[in-house]
Amino acid sequence: KEKPLLELKQDEQLLRTELDSRLALIEELKGKLNQLEPKIRDATAAQLREAEQRLLKGATHLRGFRDNVADALSGVQSLAVAGDKLSRDIDVTASLVRSTPARDDGRITDALKALESVNKQMDDIRNTVKHLEAIPNATETEEIDQLADSLSNRIAAMEKELGSKRDRRASLEQLE
């Protein structure tokens, strides 16, 4: 997940170095303009200004690209941490749900609270995924979508199991 973004970050740094070098060369050439004959100096100065404007425009685009890569890298890293935490919390909650008897109101309440907590974490992960997918030129988002779907499916399975236990409890109460 992070490796392609780290490679893009390195590419951006190389491009930035090259761009800065070319801008420095333009400044050096501007300093030498006075050594040229007036006819040549005006034409050369115009060409240097044009080249400088193109490079400055490129620098602006490169800054935007750098910011996008940094946002994506940060988002992917925080998503990995949040996904790992949620996965552990789902394991704990699933164990609680499985071991909760249908007649134990206290444990069912605890399980509901735990499910509420993992659902909140899932909402945060979905927001992070949306943020990552909204980054301009973001590609290869299938892996983060799969992570979110996998976690969501595990939560849905727990909700279904707990719902069954609550239904069973209600049925048992009616029989009594």
What distance in Å separates the CA atoms of residue 155 and residue 150, rounded to the nearest whole number?
Answer: 9
What distance in Å separates the CA atoms of residue 110 and residue 141, rounded to the nearest whole number?
Answer: 35
The single-letter code of the amino acid at 85 is K
What distance in Å separates the CA atoms of residue 11 and residue 103, rounded to the nearest whole number?
Answer: 61
Give the tens place of pLDDT for each residue, 59-103.
Answer: 999 999 999 999 999 999 999 999 999 999 999 999 999 999 988
Give the tens place of pLDDT for each residue, 101-145.
Answer: 988 889 999 999 999 999 999 999 999 999 999 998 778 888 899
Helix, strand, or coil (residue 100) = coil
In this predicted structure, what is the pLDDT of residue 141? Answer: 84
